[in-house]
Structure 1
Amino acid sequence: MEALQEKSVDFEAICRKAGLKVTRQRLEIYQELVRSTDHPTAEALHRRLRRNLPNLSLDTVYRTLATFAHHGLISRVETAESLSRFEATFARHHHLICRRCGKISDFSWPHLDDVSLPPDVSDWGNIDSKNIVIYGICGQCLNELPEKI
């Protein structure tokens, strides 16, 4: 709970610096993302938030997420299905995505983070981040399949 309060204070300071009003809806959307470990879609966030904010529209969630991403408050995780998922985790990490159920898991790989890019890639231009996305079938889905893949 302390970490959530700390991130909320940071959130409010970042919003003010960016000239964004800190509304209850924005704060609730951000806090739900901070609490989430499943990289929710806008629709999933909307469903969760409607319990406390019954008048919250899906359009507001979409617009708020786009604004947050634009100002660097959250990250957008693009999947192979071109389905945007969101997270408020900025610690260096990468993603595992299950092709069957869509579950996204975070993992760290410090060795990879320290590896230099090949010359043909590093000459491409200004690279500001390196992210690995690994696709496969998660252990839970493998256990549910009649035959192992």
Structure 2
Amino acid sequence: MEQSKHLLDEQFLMFESACRQAGLRLTHQRLEVYRELACAEDHPSAETLHQRLRRTIPTLSLDTVYRTLATLACHGLINKVDTVESQARFEATQHQHHHLICSKCKRIVDFDWHSIDALPLPLKAQQWGRIEAKNVVVYGVCSGCQ
């Protein structure tokens, strides 16, 4: 528990530093959106984040949450998780990882796959242009929904 709190504290310090380097103001709303996202394990949507944050910031608008997420994602401070849903999901995790997505309950789980990360891309992909990221998304039905 103490180790995870220490890691979160480090993550917040890195976030604040990255915001300053990007020229972004550290507004209360921006900090709270990031804090909630960093503590979340479920890859929440903007709507879910808004519902959670309204408990502590009753005046927070859904539009502010959307704009904050878009700004943070644009600057590479958070990740937008690509899913087949129309509703975007987000995470604050910055280390290389992949996702398992349940087609029934829509739960997203992170997993590491170092052997895939170490492989070079196929020649056609390498010749395509500048690759900025590579990740694997695995869709299926989780054991809880089977």
TM-score normalised by L of structure 1: 0.92
Structure index of larger Rg: 1
Q: Counterpart in 2 of 1:25?
A: 29
Does 1:121 pair with 2:125? yes
How far has the Cα of 1:3 moved from its partner?
Answer: 2.0
CA RMSD of aligned residues (A): 0.9
How far has the Cα of 1:114 moved from its partner?
Answer: 0.8
How far has the Cα of 1:106 moved from its partner?
Answer: 0.4
Q: Counterpart in 2 of 1:145?
A: none
How far has the Cα of 1:135 moved from its partner?
Answer: 0.4
Q: How far apart are the structure 1 equivalents of 2:35 and 2:52?
A: 12
Give the unaligned 5+ runs of structure 1.
143-149
Give the unaligned 5+ runs of structure 2.
none
Does 1:88 pair with 2:75? no
Q: How far apart are the structure 1 equivalents of 2:29 and 2:7?
A: 20
How far has the Cα of 1:65 moved from its partner?
Answer: 0.2
Deviations 1:3-60 (A, max 9, x none): 2222222111111111111111111100111101100000000000011100000000
Does 1:47 pair with 2:51? yes
Q: Counterpart in 2 of 1:67?
A: 71
Q: Which amino acid aligns with 1:42?
A: A
SS of aligned partner of 2:134: coil
TM-score normalised by L of structure 2: 0.94
Q: Which amino acid aligns with 2:122?
A: P
**Identity in percent:** 56
| Runs of 4+ with deviation above 6 angstroms | none
Q: Counterpart in 2 of 1:132?
A: 136
Identify which of 108, 111, 119 aligns with 2:112: 108
How far has the Cα of 1:2 moved from its partner?
Answer: 2.1
Identify which of 29, 34, 37 aligns with 2:41: 37
Q: How far apart are the structure 2 equivalents of 1:17 and 1:43?
A: 28
